């Protein structure tokens, strides 16, 4: 009987020993820090992420510049197509000091076809997607206005045939030029 009692007490002590050992290892794991390997892995991930983000930050100006050039080219094409389809003169008037332009017909500024209730005025300085872009120079034979007639032919702000149509955009140290060809009104974008 006594041997059975010692066995039971031995088992109880062994179970208590195991329970104490498990709780001690849990406490050690909870209080333990990171291993050198874990820290190195995290540092490598951070370095890889930084090398991907830094070039993207530098290219944001070039992306904005390209986007602004595409928007202006599309709006010039829109004014030209409206002049042809409505059989009346449409003008795109640039304002370098406010970094903006607007599309007008003989009655004034037209309504924006997508932004219902708004006039067709594009302002780069108020648009966070394009705020790095400056309308550096516009030259339509010495004016800041280009008009399209019912055939889509370009005219300068003095109502004479366009000889030279250039828009220069800048963002940081980069620039892009939009050229409008005389007679045809063909639009090209060049860096």
DSSP-derived 3-state class of residue 76: helix
- Whole-number pLDDT of residue 34: 76
Q: Residue 12 — very low, low, confident or very high, per pLDDT cuts 50/70/90?
A: low
Alpha carbons 141 and 162: distance in angstroms, whole number: 7
Residues 105 and 86: beta-carbon distance below 8 Å: yes
Overall fold of domain 60-190? minor pseudopilin epsh fold (3.55.40)
Percent of the chain with pLDDT over 70: 80
pLDDT at 49: 81
């Amino acid at each position: 009987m006594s041997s059975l009692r010692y066995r039971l007490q031995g088992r109880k002590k062994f179970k208590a020993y195991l329970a104490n050992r498990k709780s001690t290892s849990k406490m050690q794991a909870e209080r333990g820090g990171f291993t050198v390997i874990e820290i190195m892995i995290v540092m490598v991930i951070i370095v890889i992420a930084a090398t991907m983000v830094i070039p993207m930050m530098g290219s944001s100006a070039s992306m904005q510049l390209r986007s602004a050039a595409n928007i202006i080219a599309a709006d010039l094409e829109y004014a030209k197509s409206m002049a042809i389809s409505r059989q009346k003169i449409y003008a795109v008037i640039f304002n370098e000091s406010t970094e903006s332009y607007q599309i007008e017909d003989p009655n004034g500024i037209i309504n924006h076809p997508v932004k219902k209730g708004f006039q067709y005025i594009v302002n780069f300085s108020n648009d966070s997607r394009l705020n790095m872009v400056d309308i550096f120079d516009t030259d339509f034979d010495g004016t800041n206005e280009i008009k399209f007639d019912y055939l889509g032919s370009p005219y300068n702000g003095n109502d004479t045939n366009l000889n030279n149509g250039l828009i220069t955009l800048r963002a940081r140290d980069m620039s892009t030029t939009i050229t409008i060809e005389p007679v045809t009104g063909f639009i090209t974008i060049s860096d």
